Structure 1
Amino acid sequence: MRFKTLIIEDEEPARIRLEKLLSQYSENIELVGSAVNGREGLEKINSCNPDLIFLDIQMPGMTGFEMLSKLDEVPLIIFCTAYDDYALQAFETNSIDYLLKPVKIDRLEQTIAKLKKIRPGLSSPDIMRFLKSFEQNKTKKELTSLTVKTGKKILFLKLKEIAYFKAKDKYVNVCMKNGKEHLSEESLHHLNAQLPHNFKQIHRSLILNTDFIKEVHSYFNSRFAFILGDKDASKLISGRSFQKSIKEWINL
């Protein structure tokens, strides 16, 4: 049984990687095309009538969710996503499979095994209800700045200028790329829930901006040392309990 398959992914390296991986499953997957954004995805779905789509969620112009809302009939969907574990549990609960980027071959094999148990043309009746609920409750405008109080002033700190956050006592130190530090009254847990996906928690008291990572080294007791490209060339040590999640997003 083969599924007519369409890939909708705006990042070319991710799209090429997925095409290459799927080519190993030609008995089950028939690639009929790819699209680089939601608008092109709609056109390809209408022209190719795929059984299955591999769909990126965060795309410029039109998100994957917005694209799906414009369809009269929804094919089987494998989401390609960078959402956090809580969101991924929601996908699983609603019988919608997902692949966490960067896609790994062992995880893709699990997806193919699921597909072998599903006949083309069969789609979960709860998909659109789930998507509507998910958009209302889980999606949020991506932050671009953080506000902190200093005396009688309120500063707007650009997230792209923040190298890392470090919890200390009842406050959180906001450590900027220029070496300056500011105090935030928000908890690290609350910040972690608001920050975009390029911020990763590596320790119970540390969240770093992955855009500043220059080097990653193995460290004692199954930990990692992150060397940043900020003014101070900061060295941050991860916690042991974060080893698994760190290995996933640095693709080890």
Structure 2
Amino acid sequence: MDILIIEDEKPAATRLERLLKSYNDQINVLDKIDSVKKAIKWLQSNQPQLIFMDIQLADGLSFEIFEHVDIQAPVIFTTAFDEYALKAFKVNSIDYLLKPIDEDELDAAFKKLDRLAGNHQPKSNTLDQINQAMAMLTNKYKSRFVIKVGEHIKSIAVNDIQYFFSRDKASFCCADEGKNYLLDYSIEQIEGMLDPEKFYRINRKYLVSLKAIEDIISYSNSRLRIVLKHCSDKDVVVSRERVNDFKGWLDR
């Protein structure tokens, strides 16, 4: 079986490929692709027999791929989202696996694929179910993050977070009390989990809430410098290409 993996986390893609080949040495992984844009280009000229597809990629939700490419192969989604939001996937040739994927779940997915072989649903129905699931996911924003404090695990509400930032290839949130906490997601992933009415990505490093902004100052090259609460970084700048959109976000 020729399989395509669409996954933006390299360790996860490598692990999945290893699991697949361990499950069946006749499996051929055609390619591992890490973005919506690359997947669209690849699928416009190739058709695998099965696709393992992460839902949230660095440049958007993988559902966008279906808007540009006529995908005939069955799809098994891989995701960290909770089961409630993914009930729409439990139909015919569409399935999902929660990360981290284990061998038993992979085995169950292939057995389901075998059962459904030849039982093809009209494409329009499949796309309707994908759109339904997309709506569920995009309207269900994260309300809490699990953080580690020393040897302890605790949960912090999104409403208690001032802003998110990246530093030394790691992501953090700054809480209302001014403490910073390490998170297990990239800034790109966090951005997709949050209500865009409440948080705005001002540049590659910072994702801020309105309540975190103490001052906005005109800066060089038509940019804006932002003064954030509990932030010692004096170079928090809205990139020039985002200034107009940022002003629009402020004016909602």
TM-score (norm 2): 0.54
| Amino acid of the structure 2 residue aligned with 1:49 | Q
Candidates 83, 86, 95, aligned match of 1:85:
83
Measured on the aligned residues, the alpha-carbon RMSD in Å equals: 3.3
Equivalent position of 1:139 in the other structure: 138
In the other structure, the counterpart of 2:149 is: none
Count of aligned pairs: 162
Partner of 2:36: 38
Say which SS state the counterpart of residue 138 (structure 1) adopts: helix
Partner Cα distance (1:91, 1:48) in 2 = 24
Per the alignment, residue 228 of structure 2 pairs with none
1:67 aligns with 65
- What is the distance in 2 between the residues matched to 1:157 and 1:50? 44
Q: After the TM superposition, which residues 55-204 of structure 1 pair with which residues of structure 2 at under 5 Å, given as runs?
A: 55-93=53-91, 96-119=94-117, 122=120, 125=123, 126-140=125-139, 146=158, 157-158=162-163, 160-162=173-175, 177=179, 196=193
SS state at 1:161 partner = strand
**Which residue is equivalent to 2:45?**
47
Matched residue SS, 1:117? helix
| Alignment partner, residue 4 of structure 1 | 2
Of 138-147 and 33-42, deviating more is 138-147
Distance 1:102 1:137, change over 3 A: closer
Q: CA deviation at 1:91?
A: 1.6
Percent of aligned pairs with the same amino acid: 33
The Cα shift of 1:72 comes to 2.2
Aligned residue number for residue 18 of structure 2: 20
Alignment partners' CA distance in 2, 1:59 and 1:108 = 21
Contact 2:75 / 2:93 at 8 angstroms: preserved in 1?
A: no
SS in 1 for 2:71: coil
Distance in 1 between residues matched to 2:92 and 2:120, nearest whole Å: 14
Note closer, same or farther for the CA distance 1:129–1:28 as it changes in structure 2 (3 Å cut): farther
- The structural deviation recorded for 1:46 is 2.7
- Which shows bigger deviation, 104-113 or 119-128? 119-128
CA offset digits 1:22-52 (Å, max 9, x no partner): 0023366332222111111122223331121
**Structure 1 position 85, deviation (Å):** 1.9
